[in-house]
Chains A and B, each alone.
Chain A
Amino acid sequence: MAMTGMDIYKNLPKSNCKECGFPTCLAFAMQVAAKQKALTDCPQLSDEAKDAFADASAPPMKLVHIGPEGDAQVKIGQETVMFRHEDKFYNASALAGKVAASLSDEEASARLRQINEAAFSRIGQDISVSMAAVEVEGLSADAAAGRAKTLADASRVPLILMGSDPAVVAAAAGAIADKKPLIYQATADNAEAMIKVAADNKCPLAATADTLEELADLARSAADAGVGDVVLSFDGRDTAKTLRNITSARRAALKKNFRALGFPAMVDAACDDPFKETVLAATFTAKYAGIIIINGLDGSELIPLLTAAQNIYTDPQVPNTVEAKLYEVGDVTDSSPVLFTTNFALTYFSVEGEVERSKVPSYICVVDTEGLGVLNAYAGDKISPEKVVKTLGEQSVADKVKHRKLIIPGLLPPFRAEIEDTSEWKEVIIGPESATGIPRFLAENWN
């Protein structure tokens, strides 16, 4: 939140002592607001004023870390906008696989192995389940501690400890405090004791309440007890209400700088029906949840949900590109077809997908068009026959195949003559206008 000169002035000593080099505190305040001077240039600043400034210049939504430092640590929050086109969404929703308390020890361990293995690669990015939500509800304190310890030791990912009885959760948290699990969760009924569990173990805390007013009170109580890392927790199954509340909480934090709700959110979407669960999880991937708890660990559910998070958290201001190089799709040989396309990720992956579908192993030469698709690149002078020929040379494509046939996008027919005239690629074939035409095109034109 940018502070105005007046906001800053209010917190200065107003003594006009001139030690900062300015004639008045107000003049100094204006310089600070304009970022010409730092606050610390006023030697008379009181400690309370320093705190007030630190608070005001802190991001409106806190960044919360869960798990020990390292690659697997989950970071959520510090979001800046309600809609991704206004800037971007920063810290992608973490999917948490639930390990129910009702499972036997062996079953729980097997489930954790599934979570550990739920890691995939899609369009060159790693996507995975990034938390384990271990339920200790109904277990004895000893059993909870034992289960937390066993699973935490075996886990690739940070844990959420789910339970309503502070004594049980305390036992579990105490056993793995060094793993910085998320304590889940403080409610109106257990607030004081559950906040203490988080405070004693220096762990982040999830808090839930029926209304945002009560939730703000809980978060404030946590802060007063020294628990600064809070996650606002909502029940995904109550979809309509949660959608309204999660939206309102985020607006209050980001647009009104309302500190008591200035935390990331999480949603429990776990249900028995995988389709219902997918709908809920997809809803809150788009709508503001930093963590989503689910039951389903089958690829058929995880891949769509992880892809949704990948998409929603893509930076909309940066053209989505792939590396401009020669790609091999399938088991290519020196007689495989050669196609070229742009480095706009969408274009490339459409072409790649259709080439895969055609089952004709092919080379795809990707030309750097600064992230523009074929037509836009052509209109914006980012692709030309000369550039295509140069790229083919740089990628040594002629060394890979013995023929000299080149398939060009159907939207660029004028390129044919010039490429044939100025390069060794003497047989330029005009391909389909849209990637979807590739399978038929290859079936008919390549054998």
Chain B
Amino acid sequence: MEVTDIKEKWTNKIRTVTIGATADEGGTRANTVTVGGETTLPFLTFEGEIPNRPVIAGAIADVVPEGWPQILKDAIGDVINSPAEWAQKCVEEYKVDLISLKLIGGDPAGANRGPSECAETVKSVLEAVDVPLIFWGCDDEEKDNELLMECSHAAKGEKCLIGSATESNYRTLGAIGTADKHKVIAEAPVDINIGKQVNILLQDAGFSLNDVVMCQVTAALGYGFDYVYTIFERVRIAGLKGDDLMALPQIANVGWETWKVKEALQDDDVLPGWGKLADRGPMWETTAATGYLHAGADILTLAHPKSIAAMREAIDELMAN
């Protein structure tokens, strides 16, 4: 029996963003990473193109993240104490496409490292690995303005992806990105309208949306995952239907959010019958990452080596067939 034609006719293409600069382009990366460019929903290649595969960023931090469970620290090993070595392990052993460095050491309520110390960390990671770099501030807005500026200078010309521009600091981030030729992450607090608004603000401030990756505060599985999953889908559908302000690649910060929630922190002594944390934790991360991948994420930030391996295999399989 002939089956009725069900192909969608998408009219628009998601913008492409290239992260990293090789020597030819004024940087020191061995290769660049390009995301976006889709003219169809995730992996539905029968009605459009997916020119660039979704990529995995290894989540690392300048100081050992407070609150991460021992099973995660053990899986990563001693390198967790050195961002440069940690980044190397991510690239060489876990085969990540790029590094996502969070400068939590800058947090005034934590280690309170100065901007220049943070910039040194950025430099050390850039020297240690030759894949493109994403780096983020410490989530203290006042501190981040200063900190990101200094880190941006230190990485000038490397075309890093910097997080993140919000409704309140988009001017600073746009200015930093323009001055030092970086790309910028536009972030919104689980709100699709604010997501679009931040893009508009960045654009109005003179920053090209061709250099922006969208991000929603990425909910962990079981903690608002349904909201963020649906925002990813709606953003992608709006982009494909012709809304240029939404036709941007998206990043899901799965690692950072996963390792804060009960199911990824507590072992079966606290949660009897729920399985060993050493397995459940990375499963929690992997399950959320899978959801976001199919909702339209172009970059997945992951922390546990097992999650990274599982998602790499999944993307290989989906792109090959």
Seen from chain A, the residues whose Cβ lies within 8 Å of a Cβ on chain B are: 83-85, 120, 122-123, 212-213, 216-217, 220, 238-241, 243-244, 247-248, 251-252, 255-256, 258, 260-261, 274-276, 278-279, 282-283, 285-287, 298-305, 307-308, 310-312, 314, 316, 346, 349-350, 353, 356-357, 436, 439-440
Contacts and interface: CB of A to CB of B under 8 A. Distances in A.
B273 A275 contact: no
Interface string B109-146: 10000000000000000000000000000000000000
Interface string B45-70: 11000000000000000000001000
Contacts of B275: 298-303
Where chain B touches its partner, the secondary structure class is helix
Contacts of A261: 3
Interface string B261-299: 111010010010111110110111011101100110000
Q: Counting chain A CB atoms within 10 Å of each CB, which of B275, B283, B306 scores highest? A: B283
A276 B314 CA distance: 8
B10 interface: no
A314 B287 contact: no
Nearest to B284: A304
B309 interface: yes
Nearest to A314: B226
B45 A279 contact: no
Contacts of A312: 226, 229, 291
Contact of A213 (B1, B44, B229, B283): B1
Contacts of B234: 83, 85
B46 A303 contact: no
A275 B308 CA distance: 11
B6 A283 contact: no
Contacts of A248: 3, 6, 46
Given A244-B46, A275-B282, A256 B6 contact: yes
Q: Counting chain A CB atoms within 10 Å of each CB, which of B225, B237, B290 scores highest? A: B290
What is the size category of the interface that chain B forms with chain A? 35 or more
Nearest to B1: A216
Interface in B229-280: 229-230, 233-234, 237, 260-263, 265, 268, 271, 273-277, 279-280
Nearest to A307: B222
B84 interface: no
B4 A252 contact: yes
Contacts of B280: 299-300, 303-304
B24 interface: no
Given A275-B306, A278-B287, A217 B263 contact: no
B286 A278 contact: yes
B287 A243 contact: no
Given A220-B1, A283-B290, A350-B223, A120 B283 contact: no
Contacts of A314: 226
A300 B283 contact: yes
10 contacts: A85-B234, A244-B43, A244-B44, A248-B6, A278-B286, A279-B286, A286-B291, A307-B287, A308-B287, A439-B67
Given A84-B230, A255-B6, A261-B3, A276 B310 contact: yes
List the 7 closest A-B pairs by CB distance, nearest first: A300-B275, A299-B275, A300-B279, A240-B321, A300-B280, A251-B6, A282-B290
B317 interface: yes
B121 to A, nearest CB: 23
B294 A286 contact: yes
Q: Counting chain B CB atoms within 10 Å of each CB, which of A240, A258, A299, A311 scores highest? A: A311
B148 interface: no
A241 B321 CA distance: 7
B224 interface: yes
A165 B207 CA distance: 64
A213 B43 CA distance: 21
Contacts of A256: 4, 6
A307 B221 contact: yes
A276 B233 CA distance: 23
B233 A83 contact: yes
B2 interface: yes
Contacts of A279: 286, 290, 310-311, 313-314
A446 B273 CA distance: 32
A142 B261 CA distance: 50
A316 B263 contact: no
B318 interface: yes
A216 B321 contact: no
Contacts of A275: 282-283, 286, 306, 309-310
